[in-house]
Amino acid sequence: MESTATIGKDTVTDTDPKEKVAVLISRVFTSYLSEFLIITRRAKTTFEQRDWRGGKRDAAERLSVYEKVLSQIAVQIEGILGSNATDRQTWIAIKRIFAPLIAGKQNEDIAETFFNSVTRTLLKTVGIDREVEFFHLETKPVAAVLDPPLYRKFDDHRPTSELIRAILVDHQFNARYEDIDRDIELVANEVDMMTWPFVRSGNRYSADILTPCFYRNKVAYIVGRILLGSHIVPMIIPLCNDDSGIHVDSVLLNEADANNVFGFAYSYFHVEVQVPSDLVAFLRTILPHKPVADLYNALGFNRHGKTEFYRDLHRFVHVSKKQFVTAPGREGAVMAVFTLPNYNYVFKVIKDQPCFLRSASITDKTINKTEVKQRYKFVTHRDRVGRLVDTQEFENVRFKAKRYSEQVLHEFEVAARDSVSRHGEYVVISHLYLQRKVTPLPIFFQEENDSAVIRQVVIDFGYFIKDLAATGLFPADLFNTWNYGVTEGNRVVLYDYDDVIPLEHATFRRKPGAMNEYEEMNPEEDWIVAEPTDFFVDEIDSFVGIPYALRGIFNSEHKDLFAMGFWENIKARVAEGEIIDIIAYGRDRRFRRITREA
């Protein structure tokens, strides 16, 4: 007797293995979303109970769910299809069956991405196969969800404190506030200041506040927008929870601060939402210049973020007709790096062995491709704390050779033969990394003319080192400032990971002085014995990479970096599993500082 399976209103027979697979993919996708949301929901309790280690475990678990599900379903499909699991015509037929199962439903766009992931896992697709995969140059409209509402509208109140109180009350926690009246007044004062040019003429405004909170690390963010006529202003209220209770740490009321909170160098938020595309649409109203791919990444849907990026890349290549060229800056020994003119991303291919092609320089690096991939994977699964550029991996990327400059093709031919091959008129890259483009730190210091911005970056560089240490990471090539970049928000980040090591592997020492005439007369390297993971803290001041004239500003804020006590303390705290506070906005924005110093 023929059996059937039902998904919503769709009923298909399962006598045909292709139908079985289509139904299986739909079911497993639904199961994946359910597991993703179960983990995500735990973030609220984690915040209330201050279970920061549990939150760290949840973040790692959720990050692994997609790959786990893919590997499991691949085995199931091979059991159903046998040798046809790698047959292209079979998958063309499965796509035709799968498409109506998800058409017009919630998360159709992410379901298509999941289907593509399954096919690429089994077929090892090179480039894009439009007959097998779902691919659209433009984002498809998806079904909207109105119940429960994604956000709540708050009308203008007088006084403003009543508006803020209503917003905070609407986001209830099973934990007490330290002093909610104080916090309401602090937020209201800032909102009054920002809205004054609009309301002084008698105009009224409203606020749309998202129902779910955004959780990351030790902070819960209430996110919304203030509507000043046709002008939209972001409104982000960060909440912290410590021994004294919950307190509002700041209120962020401009796009620059919002961009930093949703920056590409941070780990992903945990935010409970049934239809991510609806949330992305809302976020685009307060972050109009942020790529859609970045927003999906920020919500934890990084695989669909890759889909959105790939769509944008093909659209850009199609419209611009520009060639891929070598990325500006100094050549790295480990990666061949290229980009597109006026494009905000760089592409990185691991060289067959460390080398320089554009100079006569000789590298002492001996790291191999497997070790590089392990380092990048290690970083990807850590808390990036706003200091590590998000890195996406792509496989079997294909473009026509004419799309690459002669210099890029030459570097592929000489230094990346293991990863890059020519197939007729096409170039196929078997493995590459994608990162957002940033300004290398040495170039920033050469070109920036605004002294206030230079000061900001000099001071932030010290916090960059401290933030990395707080998350248990250390850049072994600390003094090579070409590994560091500056974002559009003037935040220092790390974008080369081949020299990143766990903090516990680093040994911090004071540099020994000469003990006799032989040592005084001979080069230090002849008598100082040091391992590659030994670092002399008293050399940080001399070789930190900040231009000499600017070191006074750096030292005034970060002289503790030159002391053994700082490194011993941070290593001990990390070893004990402490989750150290790191904020995603300027320290001058914090209310906590105001109230404690008053």
Catalytic residues: 390
What's the token pair of residue 230? 């046709």
Q: How far apart are CA 381 and CA 414, in angstroms?
A: 32
What's the token pair of residue 233? 């202003």
Alpha-carbon Rg for the chain, nearest whole angstrom, is 26
Q: How far apart are CA 574 and CA 580, in angstroms?
A: 8
Query: Do 27 and 103 contact (CB within 8 A), yes or no?
Result: no
Backbone angles phi, psi at 357, to 5 degrees: -110, -25
Sign of the dihedral through C-alpha 348, 353, 358, 362: positive
Q: At 523, is the secondary structure helix, strand, or coil?
A: coil
Write the CA distances from 99 to 10, 70, 84, 121, 134, integer angstroms: 11, 19, 20, 19, 9
Residue that the structure tokens 């749309």 belong to: 208
Under DSSP, the state recorded for 180 is H
Q: How far apart are CA 527 and CA 585, in angstroms?
A: 45
Query: Do 435 and 467 contact (CB within 8 A), yes or no?
Result: no
Q: How far apart are CA 74 and CA 578, in angstroms?
A: 38
Q: Which amino acid would we find at residue 297?
A: N
For residue 305, which of 247, 380, 390 has the smallest C-alpha distance? 390
End-to-end CA separation in angstroms for the chain: 79
Count other Cβ atoms within 10 Å, centred on residue 409: 19
Backbone angles phi, psi at 532, to 5 degrees: -60, -25
What's the token pair of residue 133? 């995969």
Residues present in the chain in total: 598
Task: Name 59's Cβ contacts closer than 8 Å, sequence gap at least 6.
Answer: 267, 268, 270, 383
- Label residue 481 exposed, middle or buried (CB < 10 Å: 0-12, 13-18, 19+): buried
Which spans in 321-433 are helix H? 369-380, 406-415
